[in-house]
Structure formats: structure tokens, C-alpha cells
């Protein structure tokens, strides 16, 4: 009996020990499992953090019809486009701050009416069409997340896309910063006020373009950022296609001046009207291929007797020269050359010619380097009358145009005054 009890007691103790061992092992397992779960949880949090950081981004939305890149950048073509993109991205990176800048992507979208904007820039002598296209190419290729979107010719096509994108990204949590390039347009006031009411304005910055902020956007002045030298600081005059097309050169100077402009059509500048008369003169000139330049001999006498010196001058001159000294104080008048009355004399300022006192074009301006550049570009939009007859002896240095600055994207078809060039290039 005792043995049985002893045996039973021994078995009970053994069973109790087994339970304790199992309990200890289970406790150890749970501890290790807990540690593993903690480690896994930490890894998940880190993974989620890095995933979130990887998807965080900033977006730049620019109304390119109003915020226009500076003439200095446009003039550099592809290199100017790359510099503009680089400057823009660097400023946005600064705005993001150190905590986010390491991982956040930057998306840049510029919306514009390419044809309309390009026409304005060419008309205002800010660039030439091929250079404008190279600028766009340089901007786009500077980074894989850079885009310039041609919205077409709709009156507010660009505006609509800018607003739609602003609303879209304002609602995206991963979008940490929106830089809106629309400080020129009162029309964006309503959507900005709406986003303010939704407490979403904190992540929006307003990119400054013109010197003067649009009146209805002054309520958001504390959200304005500036990138000096990136955009034009003054508005450009509107684009009138009639001011690019050459007028009817069959008309005489007196006929063109006496006629009243049609309400439906824009009147061409006086310089173009006078030049058209000179172009008609060139059509009537007949000389052998081997003849001397038109500045010499009988041809010069013939031209001088029929044209006011300085209005056309020779299209076969060399590089532009400094204008000769004339009596009287020079006037420094800021602004566009196209607004000067009378217009600067081409021969005097670009060829360094001494003009007859009867020349009615301007000789008393102290033109700045920028105005001289504008004048050269303005004159380049006038086709060389001798080139039209295949008679220009100095095509590489001629002050007048030998090609269409709008390139193969010229919208004027058969009415383009550089039709000869288009035909030579196979565009027409």
C-alpha cells in the first residue's frame, strides 16, 4: 500500500514537473514570440514610413500663358529651358524643407496655348519660333517629371486645366506642397478662397510672375514666393495676327496711309507699311547676277531718289553698327520699341547710316541694349526685298529676314510673307 502510495506520489511529482517545464517553455516561447511580433511591427512601421516617404511629392502647376519665362532664358533655347527647370526645382526643394526634401518627388506641369503664346513672343521680338521650340524641349528633357502641355487655342483652355489639377492635388494627402503659377490672374481667386475654407491653403504657395500681383489675389500675399529672373515681370501686348502678315505691297505709300482701316482688321505698323513700299520697289529692280551691290552706282541713285533714306536702306549691309552722331540730345524712353512714335530708323540704328534731314523716322532715341535687340528682331520679321528676288548679296549679315520665324508651325499658310522660304524648305 505504501509502495503504491509512494509510486503514486512519485508519479504526481513527475507530472507536476512536466507541467512546470511545459509552462516555462511556453512562457519562453511567448516571450520570444512577443519580441518577434515587436520586431515585425517595427519593421512594418519602418516600411510604411519609407513607402509613404517615397510616394510623397510636390507639384508645380503653371499657367504658362500668363507666367511667361523670361526673354533672357527664352533666347538661350534648349539651354535656357534646362536652366529654367533647374531654377524652378531648386526653389521648390527649398520650400519643401529638409525633413521632406530627401524623398519627395517634384512634378512640374506647365499648361499653355503653344501657338498663341509663341506668336505673342515672336511678335514682341522676345524670341524666334525655332528658339521657342528648343526652349520647350530643353525644359521637358531636363527632368523626367517635367511636362509642358499644349492646351490648344481655347480662350480659357489652360485656365481650366490649371484649376482641375489644383483641385485634384489639393485633395491628395501624399501631395505635400503645391506651387501655383497663376499670380497674374484674378480668375484663380475663387478656387483659392474655396481651398482656404477647406483648410487646404497651408500646402499651397503662389508663384510670382509679374511685378504686380493680380488685385483679387492680394489676399494671398503671404503665400507668394518669387524666383528672380525666371519669369517676365511685365505683361506683353496682345497678339494680332494681322500685325505679322505683310500688308498688300501693291498699294502705294500714299494709298495705304490715306485709306481707313477696316474695323475687323488690325492696322499694320507704319514701319511695315513703309517697308512694303520698298519691297515693291525691289520687285521692279532688274540687274544681272554679277552686278555690284545695290549701295553703289546707278541703283543707289535710283533708290535714293525714290525712297526716303533710312526707311529701307540696303538690306545687304554687314553687321549692325552703332548709329552715327546727330545733333540734339538723345532721349532715353523705357519700354517696347514698338510703342515709340516715330519708330526708330532702321538705317540709322542698325546700319549706322547718315540719314537725310527729311527722314521722318526716329533718330533721337538713346536705345538701351534690350531695345536694340528688340529692334533687330522686329526688322528680321520683314522679308528682305532683295532675297525675295534672289538678289541679296549678304544673306548671312542682312538686317532683314530671310526665313519665317514661326518655322514649319507657321499658321498663315499661303499668306505668310515668307512663303518663298516655306517653299524652299518644302513646307508648302
Note if the bond before 399 is cis, omega within 30 degrees.
Answer: no
3-class SS string, the chain: CHHHHHHHHHHHHHHHHHHHHHHHHHHHHHHHHHHHHHHHHHHHHHHHHHHHHHHCEEEEEEECCCCCECHHHHCCCHHHHHHHHHHHHHHHHHHHCHHHHCCCEEEEEEEECHHHHHHHHHHCCCCCHHHHHHHHHHHHHCCCCEEEEECCCCCCHHHHHHHHHHHHHHCCCCEEEEEEECCCCHHHHHHHHHHHHCCCHHHEEEECCCCCCCHHHHHHHHHEECCCCCECCCCCCCCCHHHCCCCCCCCCHHHHHHCCCCCCCCCCCHHHHHHHHHHHHHHHCCCCCCCCCCCCHHHHHHHHHHCCCCCCCCCCCCCCCCCCCCCCCCECCCCCHHHCCCCECHHHHHCCCCCCCCCCCECCECCCHHHHHHHHHHHHCCECHHHHCCCCCCCCCCCCECCCCCHHHCCCHHHCCCHHHHHHHCCC
228 Cβ contact partners less than 8 Å away, ≥ 6 residues apart: none
pLDDT band at residue 13 under the 50/70/90 scheme: low
pTM, two decimals, is: 0.51
Query: Is the confidence at residue 66, as pLDDT, over 70?
Result: yes
Please tell me the predicted confidence (pLDDT) of residue 386. 80
Please tell me the predicted confidence (pLDDT) of residue 96. 83
Residue 131 Cα to chain centre, angstroms: 11
User: How far lies 295's CA from each of 286, 300, 306, 307, in Å?
Assistant: 15, 5, 14, 13
Q: In whole numbers, what is the pLDDT of the chain averaged over residues? A: 72
Please tell me the predicted confidence (pLDDT) of residue 34. 59
CATH topology of domain 53-225: Rossmann fold (3.40.50)
- pLDDT tens per residue across span 107-163: 999 999 998 898 888 877 788 888 999 999 999 999 999 999 998 877 678 888 999
Please tell me the predicted confidence (pLDDT) of residue 170. 92
10 Å CB burial of residue 344 (0-12, 13-18, 19+) is buried
pLDDT band at residue 230 under the 50/70/90 scheme: very high
Where are the domains positioned within the chain? Answer: 53-225, 241-425
Three-point CA angle 80, 82, 88, nearest 5°:
100
Please tell me the predicted confidence (pLDDT) of residue 249. 35
Amino acid at each position: 500500500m505504501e509502495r503504491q502510495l509512494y509510486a503514486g506520489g512519485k508519479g504526481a511529482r513527475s507530472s507536476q514537473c512536466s507541467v512546470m517545464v511545459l509552462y516555462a517553455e511556453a512562457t519562453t516561447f511567448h516571450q520570444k514570440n512577443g519580441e518577434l511580433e515587436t520586431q515585425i511591427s517595427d519593421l512594418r512601421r519602418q516600411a510604411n514610413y519609407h513607402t509613404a516617404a517615397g510616394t510623397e511629392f510636390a507639384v508645380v502647376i503653371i499657367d504658362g500663358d500668363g507666367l511667361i519665362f523670361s526673354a533672357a532664358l527664352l533666347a538661350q533655347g534648349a539651354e535656357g529651358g534646362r536652366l529654367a527647370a533647374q531654377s524652378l526645382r531648386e526653389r521648390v526643394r527649398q520650400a519643401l524643407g529638409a525633413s521632406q526634401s530627401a524623398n519627395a518627388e517634384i512634378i512640374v506641369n506647365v499648361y499653355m496655348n503653344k501657338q498663341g503664346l509663341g506668336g505673342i513672343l515672336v511678335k514682341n521680338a522676345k524670341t524666334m519660333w525655332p528658339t521657342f521650340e528648343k526652349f520647350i524641349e530643353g525644359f521637358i528633357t531636363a527632368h523626367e517629371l517635367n511636362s509642358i502641355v499644349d492646351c490648344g487655342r481655347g480662350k480659357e483652355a489652360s485656365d481650366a486645366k490649371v484649376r482641375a489639377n489644383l483641385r485634384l492635388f489639393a485633395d491628395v494627402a501624399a501631395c505635400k506642397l503645391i506651387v501655383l503659377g497663376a499670380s497674374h490672374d484674378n480668375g484663380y481667386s475663387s478656387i483659392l478662397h474655396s481651398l482656404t475654407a477647406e483648410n487646404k491653403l497651408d500646402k499651397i504657395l503662389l508663384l510670382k510672375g509679374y511685378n504686380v500681383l493680380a488685385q483679387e489675389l492680394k489676399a494671398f500675399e503671404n503665400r507668394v514666393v518669387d524666383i528672380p529672373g525666371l519669369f517676365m515681370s511685365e505683361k506683353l501686348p496682345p497678339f494680332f495676327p494681322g500685325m505679322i502678315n505683310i500688308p498688300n505691297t501693291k498699294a502705294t505709300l500714299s494709298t495705304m496711309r490715306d485709306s481707313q482701316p477696316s474695323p475687323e482688321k488690325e492696322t499694320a505698323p507704319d514701319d511695315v507699311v513703309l517697308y512694303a513700299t520698298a519691297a515693291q520697289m525691289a520687285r521692279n529692280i532688274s540687274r544681272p547676277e554679277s552686278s555690284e551691290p545695290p549701295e553703289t552706282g546707278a541703283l543707289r541713285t535710283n533708290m535714293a531718289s525714290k525712297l526716303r533714306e533710312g526707311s529701307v536702306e540696303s538690306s545687304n549691309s554687314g553687321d549692325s553698327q552703332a548709329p552715327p552722331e546727330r545733333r540734339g540730345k538723345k532721349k532715353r524712353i523705357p519700354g517696347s520699341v514698338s510703342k515709340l512714335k516715330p519708330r526708330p530708323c532702321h538705317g540709322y540704328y542698325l546700319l549706322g547710316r547718315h540719314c537725310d534731314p527729311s527722314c521722318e523716322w526716329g533718330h533721337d532715341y538713346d536705345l538701351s541694349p534690350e531695345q536694340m535687340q528688340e529692334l533687330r528682331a522686329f526688322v528680321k520679321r520683314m522679308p528682305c526685298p532683295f532675297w525675295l528676288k534672289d538678289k541679296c548679296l549678304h544673306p548671312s549679315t542682312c538686317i532683314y529676314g530671310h526665313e519665317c520665324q514661326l518655322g514649319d508651325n507657321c499658321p498663315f499658310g499661303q499668306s505668310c510673307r515668307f512663303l518663298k522660304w516655306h517653299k524652299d524648305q518644302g513646307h508648302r
